[in-house]
Structure 1
């Protein structure tokens, strides 16, 4: 009887941990919105560049003050480039007519979060970008991204691939892009904020908001030089901004 009571007690203690759904970044995407026919995804990098060149050449031809000699050269180059794309089975005019439509669909997909996870207790791995509290050297909020260097050395991810978090725990990040697993309640609550990061001021747009109740550091084989004290970095930034005033 005592053994049964102990087991019931232990199960009750472990239940909150089990309740957290382990998710990956792809799980955050709203598949219904993200799945649409995008003709540009089938193009190679070279073909996309050629298509971009076609756009630029056509824009140049539309200039009213274009010299006759330049116009002839541009028209010749444009014809050759369009013929090259046609040989590859690419309908340039049709593709260009789809740009705005596809652009709107991509933007909508990037802002659409998986509603099945809204309000759910989840656990997700990623890299933290801490944000200092106002007038403080503490950080109780920040952003979680899927890859190291995003928003700094790399482009920012789509908004539905970024989580703005608020800590309900005493954990503090030791460095920018520290690998962790965050556990807490996820909500679809789009936010926009400008923060100071390694490359200057960055606009952070996140579809998700998360109240974090547990932070699990993740071991990662990375050179020590790739991490930097978060507070040391922000303090050095502050000193650089104050330097001109002291000169």
Structure 2
């Protein structure tokens, strides 16, 4: 499939094929970008074990704490919050302690959502995506960031770290555009790296949670 610079970039954010291509190495698994996300069950509040009426009161308190000054001018919200605080105080609920625990859980969940998927590490994978060049040798790209969206980090917002793969490919691949799709193949590993990406109107320091020493890099074909 020759690259058409005028065609709209392909959406590769989901697994692009349902069967393995014929030239893929034995034992290699075709994955999609969603497979790089960690398996995580979110728990955003520490209120789950509270009695229902106290849990509802804590939710009203959270609503108040996260409201804007303008929203707090609503007398109905003010009165509901005052009643909730009275109820929580009567039952000796540690409101401030629960709020601190809630903030910690939210922070931990945010960190976990950016982490690598431990279940896929060490596997030989084949993944379709786009190249953000980092290093060239004789007009070939030998080091790059691999991303799910054409132009990511340059023309579109940077994906989360667990949606970026730092790739070394000493053999080098001919490269003509950040909108040209490729397959990469190799063993996927966790490696928290930061690299500077330079483009025409500035630069950005990009974090990647995965690394891969590519066995092959080929122009994308959907078979």
CA-atom RMSD in angstroms? 3.6
* In 2, Cα distance between equivalents of 1:191 and 1:183: 20
Residue equivalent to 2:106: 102
What is the total number of aligned residue pairs between the two structures? 169
For residue 73 of structure 2, give the secondary structure of its aligned residue in structure 1. helix
Asked if 2 retains the 8 angstrom alpha-carbon contact of 1:165 and 1:211, the reply is: yes
Tell me the distance in 1 between the aligned counterparts of 2:44 and 2:179. Answer: 32
Partner of 1:83: 77
Are the structure 2 counterparts of residues 53 and 143 from structure 1 closer, same or farther at C-alpha, using a change threshold of 3 Å?
Answer: same
Of the structure 1 ranges 195-204 and 122-131, higher mean CA displacement relative to structure 2 is found in 195-204
Looking at secondary structure, tell me which structure has more helix per residue: 1
| 1:160-192 C-alpha deviation (Å, 9 max, x unpaired) | 111000114332221124211111121111111
The gaps in structure 2 that reach 5 residues or longer are 1-21, 46-62, 81-94
Match in the other structure for 1:163:
165
Matched with 2:60 is: none
Distance of 1:51 and 1:133 partners within structure 2:
54
> In terms of Rg, which structure is larger?
1
Give every structure 1 segment of 4 or more consecutive aligned residues whose post-TM-superposition deviation is greater than 6 Å.
50-53, 93-96
Q: 2:132 aligns with which of 120, 129, 134?
A: 129
| Alignment map for 1:74-223 (pairs within 5 Å) | 77-80=71-74, 83=77, 98-111=102-115, 113-133=116-136, 138-218=140-220
**SS in structure 2 of the partner of residue 187 of structure 1:** strand
Helix, strand or coil for the counterpart of 1:54? coil
Unpaired runs of at least 5, structure 1: 1-13, 40-49, 58-73, 87-92, 221-247
Bigger fraction of residues in strand? 2
Cα distance in structure 2, aligned partners of 1:21 and 1:107 = 27
Corresponding position of 1:54:
67
Residues 196 and 205, structure 2, Cα contact 8 Å, conserved in 1: yes
Q: By how many angstroms is 1:78 displaced?
A: 2.5
Q: CA deviation at 1:99?
A: 4.0
**SS of residue matched to 2:67:** helix
Instruction: Name the CA shift for 1:36/1:78 in 2 (closer, same or farther; >3 Å).
Output: same
Pick 1 or 2: higher relative contact order, CA cutoff 8 A, min separation 6.
2
Displacement, 1:215? 1.7
8 A Cα contact 1:185 1:212, kept in partner = yes
Deviations 1:139-180 (A, max 9, x none): 210111111232233321111111000114332221124211
- Seen in structure 2, the aligned counterparts of structure 1 residues 218 and 101 have a Cα distance that, compared at 3 Å, is same
Cα offset for 1:15?
A: 9.0
